[in-house]
Each structure stands twice: as C-alpha cells, then as structure tokens.
Amino acid sequence: QSVLTQPPSASGTPGQRVTISCSGSSSNIGSNTVNWYQQLPGTAPKLLIYSGNQRPSGVPDRFSGSKSGTSASLAISGLQSEDEADYYCAAWDDSLNGQVFGGGTKLTVL
Amino acid sequence: EMQLLESGGGLVQPGGSLRLSCAASRFTFSSYAMSWVRQAPGKGLEWVSGISDSGGNTYYADSVKGRFTITRDNSKNTLYLQMNSLRAEDTAVYHCTKGWGRYPYGVFDVWGQGTMVTVSS
C-alpha cells in the first residue's frame, strides 16, 4: 500500500489529453513539492516534472503538473505513442522523514 | 552527461548481507544528496534511504531501518548501501539516484540503471 495514491492505469488515443491523479496528505503533498517520474519499458525512471509544474530541459511542454491541497495531477496533451510508460508521483513526507512514491500509473496509448 | 553506475548486486540467502556501490561521474558528487530507490519485480518504486552531501545526515524507510546502512565516500565519488539481515521482500532492482540539493528532500534528477538483488535460498 503506497502512501501516495494513483490510479493503476490510464489510457487515451493519439492526440488526446489525459490526466493522472496523485492523492496524499498534509504531511507530504500538502506541505512539500510534488515530482513526477516517467519510466519507459525496460529503462530506469526519468525526472519528468519537478516542484509541481516545472519541466527539466528536454521534456516537451505537452507535459504539465499541478497541485491543489493534498492532491496533484500530471497532464499529458497531444498524446503520442512514445508516451506509453509508467508514471510515478513522489514527495517528501515530514511525518515519515522520507520520500514517498505513488504506486504508479501505467499509461496505454490505444 | 552525469552518470551513476551501480554494482554489487547478486543472489544472497535470507539472513545474508550484501554491499552495493554506486560510482558517480561528471558532476561534483560532494555537493549533492544521494538516495537509493528500489523496484521489486513487476512492482512500483520504493525509496529506501538517503544521505546528505557531507554524509552527516542519513534517512531510512521503515522497511529497512536497522538493517541497511547508507554511507558515502566523497573522495572516491562513491555511494554505498550495506544491506544486512536480508529478506525475500528485499528482492528488487536497486537504483542509485542524485538529489538536487544538500539534503534528500526533493528531486531525483539522475538515475542509475540499477543492480539486481535477489534474496532466495
């Protein structure tokens, strides 16, 4: 059971916009920044979004993040086949004194 | 390009020990916090442990506290994870990750490919 809650799966067709939610609590998302990671099949995770809505260089602006209270969301617009991957949210948890991850969402491009 | 290369994984019996290493290159290792994140086969990511830039502060997930020890040698640009009293549930790929600041509170911006640890009799 992960501290942060994500839907196990999401899907969309090419060109569509999809969102992935991440629910936490006051000790993690409610008081710290949320980061998102993308894991393509057979590869190591990669930083996708940091500090809630910032993109590292090289990440397309099709990817965006937001946060409200104790929840966060990752949005992917103009869905492409290469976006098919597992997506994880993460944040520092002040009560646990450690990083916590969501269980991951497997995105399928139909 | 910044790189992290893990080593030391393998097959170990329950109750045994293993030490993982992570060699860092192409960035100033001593300026950044580091962490270990693991992924059990077919499962999600789990943060295991983190260490501050100087090594003076260490952090552990409850699942490994008292069994695992994270250390670093800034003169060798190397991160370590000493794993004792290993259990079947510790079986996973262990990734070394780089933080953005002095403490492992935030982002993991560089990931190693990982080293596989299998705990089985």
Query: What's the pLDDT score for residue A6?
Result: 98
Cross-chain residue pair A98–B95, CB shorter than 8 Å: no
Confidence of residue B118 (pLDDT cuts 50, 70, 90): very high
Q: Mean pLDDT throughout B61-85?
A: 98
A41/A3 Cα distance (integer angstroms): 24
What residues does B118 pair with on adjacent strands? Answer: B11
Judged against a pLDDT cut of 90, whether residue B84 lies above it is answered with yes
pLDDT of residue A1: 86
**A32 has a chain B CB within 8 A of its CB:** yes
B60 CB within 8 Å of a chain A CB: yes
Contacts of B34 (CB under 8 A, 6+ apart): B22, B24, B50, B51, B70, B72, B79, B96, B97, B98, B99, B104
Q: Can you tell me the mean pLDDT for B3-30?
A: 98
Query: Across chain A, what does the average pLDDT equal?
Result: 97
- Length of chain B, please? 121
Residue B105 reports pLDDT greater than 90: no
Residue B45 contacts A, CB cutoff 8 Å:
yes
Tell me which H or E stretch contains A107. Answer: strand A105-109
Q: Which residues between 54 and 83 in chain A have a beta carbon less than 8 angstroms from any beta carbon of chain B?
A: 56
Tell me what the mean pLDDT of segment B36-45 comes to.
98
Nearest-angstrom CA–CA distance, A81 and A108:
8
Q: What is the pLDDT along chain A (110 residues), one digit of tens a residue?
A: 899 999 999 999 999 999 999 999 999 999 999 999 999 999 999 999 998 899 999 999 999 999 999 999 999 999 999 999 999 999 999 999 999 999 999 999 99
Long-range contacts of residues B67-70, Cβ cutoff 8 Å, at least 24 apart: B70/B34, B70/B36
Helix (H, G, I), strand (E, B) or coil at B21: strand
Q: Buried b / exposed e across B33-61, counting CB within 10 Å, b at 16+?
A: bbbbbbbeeeebbbbbbbbbbebeeebbb
pLDDT at B106 over 90: no
Backbone phi and psi for residue A82, each to the nearest 5 degrees, phi listed first: -75, -5
Q: Which residues pair with A89 in a beta bridge?
A: A36
> How many secondary structure helices (H) and strands (E) does chain B include?
0, 11
H/E run at residue B63: none
